[in-house]
Structure 1
Amino acid sequence: MLAIGIIPARYASTRLPGKPLVDLGGQSMIERVVRQAEKSSLSRVVVATDDQRILEHVRGFGGEAVLTRPDHPSGTDRVRDAYEQLNAAADCIVNIQGDEPFIHPSQIDALVELFAVPAPPALATLVKPVISAEELFSPHLPKVVLDGRGRALYFSRHPLPYQRQHPQSEWLTHHRYLRHIGLYAYRPDVLRAITQLPPSPLELAESLEQLRWLEAGYPIQTAETELETIGIDTPEDVERALRLMKNVGLSS
């Protein structure tokens, strides 16, 4: 079983320019992501970047990185570009978010394990139980509904399902909601195919790339995690992450 992890990392960011290089307690954010991914069962971990500064930084701490085209519309396209440059065979490719320095190795392994079967899925992603009303009603935290086999039926920024018979304040009491965690794994042939698809109507409506794949007929298998992930998009998120690291005694 050969699984390659690829971490897309752009320098440009509207709210936090140079985000991958931000210092988090003595290590850059991208180094913390790489180090966490290296603790998993992945056979190889590679950073896919559009910026020479990030490329040199990753190679400087002993990581592997490739330079991709600067005009990719999504992280998925950047992952495909990097994978093709590697010229390596793999059973699955894991797309690891470059702005989640606290990703847990077991979350990566949960997806990799889905591909260690005779008939592996086309794509896979992570879901997590919703535990608060703040999570449930936040449009920044997409929700997902599954079929009986754990495959995604739909992703939405709105809580799904809508419980007509109960007030919204009681929705969590009467139904187990799931939140989407943006960690993906693909078979190589499927990665090539989905990056050739045009944007779809549902994707454009919700601004969720994975809806394009569902509309095209690609089933998305899910694995469940109880662990929280913390994405960093703003200077305020950096301060929050530093406070968390201090509280748990995490440093370089």
Structure 2
Amino acid sequence: MKTIALIPARYAASRFPGKMMAVLAGKTVIWRTYESALQTGVFDEVMVVTDSDIIYNEIVSHGGKAIMSKREHESGSDRIAEAVENMLDVEIVVNVQGDTPFTQKGPLEKLLKVFEGEEGKKVQVASLMQELKDWKDIEDPNFVKVAVDRNFNSLFFSRSVIPYPRDKAVNTTYYEHIGIYAFRREALLLFTKTPMTPLEAAEKVECLRYLEMGIPLKMVVTDYMGVEIDTPEDLERASRYLEEK
């Protein structure tokens, strides 16, 4: 089962323009992300897929592998789908977000394991989540929340608080969706051929497209994954995280 990691990376991020090239403890965010994905050792190949000459040159100048995307894309999944279109020998594609410089081996192994065995054959898309305990984070729209069923299949993703605690006496667990996806190649290609769906457009959460297509995501609980770099404040948090390590 050939498994590759593709890291979609664009330069013009709306909340933090140029964040991929922001320096984190002497290395750019995108190079740290590439390096950490490679060092997990769970992939047959790791590549960055980008529309930016600056990001492309950053990766290849350090000896990494990068691909220039030819078309404009609305989402990271659309971008990597273009890259795997002609990779006929690839079975599982893992989308490692370019702003996740602390990728770890353990969570990725758990993520890939859900594709194994007879039950695993039914899984088309899987992703990671971690428990949120701080109410400030639960209310923060920068934290995408996910609600799941008893088998840990996704029910809904939202930047709002889900489930809403109408009854404060109920003990509710809140999960943050971590933007690392694993797809069967065919599911990824189907995704990119489907137009953006209404819920996806409203929430600006791309995995809602799968739910609107009738494809649930198998969610895997993991421990703390570090810091995703969405804002300048996140970059400061990531710096403190490295200092603590």
- The verdict on how the C-alpha distance between 1:105 and 1:24 changes in structure 2, with shifts beyond 3 A counting, is same
Query: 2:214 maps to which residue?
Result: 217
**Contact persistence 1:37–1:108 (CA under 8 A):** no
1:91-110 equivalences under 5 Å are 91-110=91-110
Query: 1:2 maps to which residue?
Result: 2
- The verdict on how the C-alpha distance between 1:243 and 1:229 changes in structure 2, with shifts beyond 3 A counting, is closer
Question: Is 2:24 aligned against 1:24?
Answer: yes
Query: 1:204 maps to which residue?
Result: 201
Query: 1:233 maps to which residue?
Result: 230
**Contact persistence 1:127–1:180 (CA under 8 A):** yes
Partner Cα separation in structure 1 for residue 20 and residue 141 of structure 2: 24
Partner Cα separation in structure 1 for residue 157 and residue 16 of structure 2: 27
**Contact persistence 1:91–1:115 (CA under 8 A):** no
**Contact persistence 1:3–1:42 (CA under 8 A):** yes
Deviations 1:20-78 (A, max 9, x none): 22222222211111111112211110100111222122112111111102511111111
Query: Which structure has the larger Rg over C-alpha atoms?
Result: 1
Partner Cα separation in structure 2 for residue 143 and residue 105 of structure 1: 23
Which is further off, 227-236 or 137-146?
Answer: 227-236
Q: Mind listing any 5+ residue stretches in structure 1 that lack a counterpart?
A: none
- The verdict on how the C-alpha distance between 1:243 and 1:129 changes in structure 2, with shifts beyond 3 A counting, is closer
Could you tell me the TM-score, scaled by structure 1's length?
Answer: 0.88
1:50-89 equivalences under 5 Å are 50-69=51-70, 71-84=72-85, 87-89=87-89
Query: What is the Cα-based RMSD across aligned positions, in Å?
Result: 1.8
1:130-209 equivalences under 5 Å are 130-166=132-168, 174-209=171-206
Q: Mind listing any 5+ residue stretches in structure 2 that lack a counterpart?
A: none
Which is further off, 239-248 or 65-74?
Answer: 239-248
Partner Cα separation in structure 1 for residue 69 and residue 80 of structure 2: 9
The SS at the match of 1:195 is: helix
Partner Cα separation in structure 2 for residue 237 and residue 66 of structure 1: 27
Partner Cα separation in structure 2 for residue 134 and residue 52 of structure 1: 38
Partner Cα separation in structure 2 for residue 88 and residue 27 of structure 1: 34
The SS at the match of 2:4 is: strand
1:110-125 equivalences under 5 Å are 110-118=110-118, 119-125=121-127
**Contact persistence 1:114–1:120 (CA under 8 A):** no
**Contact persistence 2:85–2:189 (CA under 8 A):** no
- The verdict on how the C-alpha distance between 1:120 and 1:62 changes in structure 2, with shifts beyond 3 A counting, is farther
Partner Cα separation in structure 2 for residue 184 and residue 217 of structure 1: 17
Partner Cα separation in structure 1 for residue 48 and residue 122 of structure 2: 25
